Chain A
């Protein structure tokens, strides 16, 4: 089976790649485009380590085919910072030590940013339910939730 040409926009940049129709978007991002921030934890949509946005919608990139990205705008963890200036979520994750091994962190940052983009003042309960599809085996989640709440608070004050 020949590969299919895909044109998309990733983190604001137009990209073209050739995808085997069986390849997931996650594999295309990592192997074709060299964007290895998104991780494969489970490959079955349970762990959220591969979270990206497609046209602003939070999805697991392991559950999207690369060929489905045609014409779409993809957002990955690599697009969260402004150059070398970290996003408030990234700074707060460091301040609160909201990561240990770091494997889940890119997916959680993408998921948390998607939440704050649509809800600037989430409750702790809303944060916990929103991030229920992002598994972390190190932190016990409390530090992650605190970091997200703190980042949201700072971002509200900055407006």
Chain B
């Protein structure tokens, strides 16, 4: 295995373009090293992206949004008070990934590119309307986060393409987001269902909303019908019921050892209601 530590994304792309065999990019390594050790993926070329300047930075953009470097760890994300205040749902999703030790290394970009339908950080990014800069042999393109996952373990990135940064839009005023997942224990487990909601208010009424579900489809899904059930309402009981119905209808889970189809659909409804209430309270400034 050849190990490279390029200083620029351009160099990283060049190395990948000329590499033979299996290439993997390394950020936090909490998936790559597990796959390496288990013999699932043994890269011929490993390209460590952590030494590229800026990849550990969280930057406030001129429009009020944020750019998050691809090597920013979950722990670093959780310590960033301004980001946590604006996008608590995004951060709480990432901070649910693994243990303290894993939080010291694991990254948003890695969690996204690993392609797990149960990735805890991805629904929050999708609900937030986050985008990623993708660099590759054919230049740079910007993609919505929901357009990255393709199926379990697969993404829509082309060979040799790298996620180079994650962008969160400006939070603006009267906005709130939240992420909840269900696991059978209190820590260190994989989501049976995950739900993230981001919304903005106009007075007491929900002006905009995005609802994302994890672990109930081959990839994290954005559910426009569930968002539509919220928009224009004050999150009254009727709106919550409509949200639950839309989210449950969109969920296409499988039965496995973590839960049955029926259980996952039930939990989807419960989590959607709870997540919406937290996001709404945060948008009103009534909850952290």
Contact = CB atoms under 8 A, between A and B. Distances in A.
Interface of A: 1, 4, 21-22, 24, 43-46, 48, 51, 54, 57-60, 62-65, 67-68, 111, 114-115, 129-134
Interface stretch (B9-17, B101-109, B201-209): B101-109
B29 interface: yes
A101 B48 CA distance: 37
B3 A48 contact: no
Contacts of A44: 34, 37-38
Interface of B: 1-3, 26, 29-30, 33-34, 36-38, 42, 46, 48, 50, 73, 75, 98-102, 104-105, 187-188
B102 A63 contact: yes
A63 B100 contact: no
Contacts of A115: 100
Contacts of B36: 22
Given A48-B99, A133-B99, A133-B101, A63 B33 contact: yes
Contact of A68 (B42, B48, B99): B48
Residue in A22, A45, A129 whose Cβ sees the most chain B Cβ within 10 Å: A45
Contacts of A60: 101-102, 105
Contact of B3 (A21, A58, A131): A21
B142 to A, nearest CB: 30
Contacts of A111: 100-101
Closest 4 CB pairs of A and B: A133-B99, A21-B3, A132-B187, A57-B104
B3 A4 contact: yes
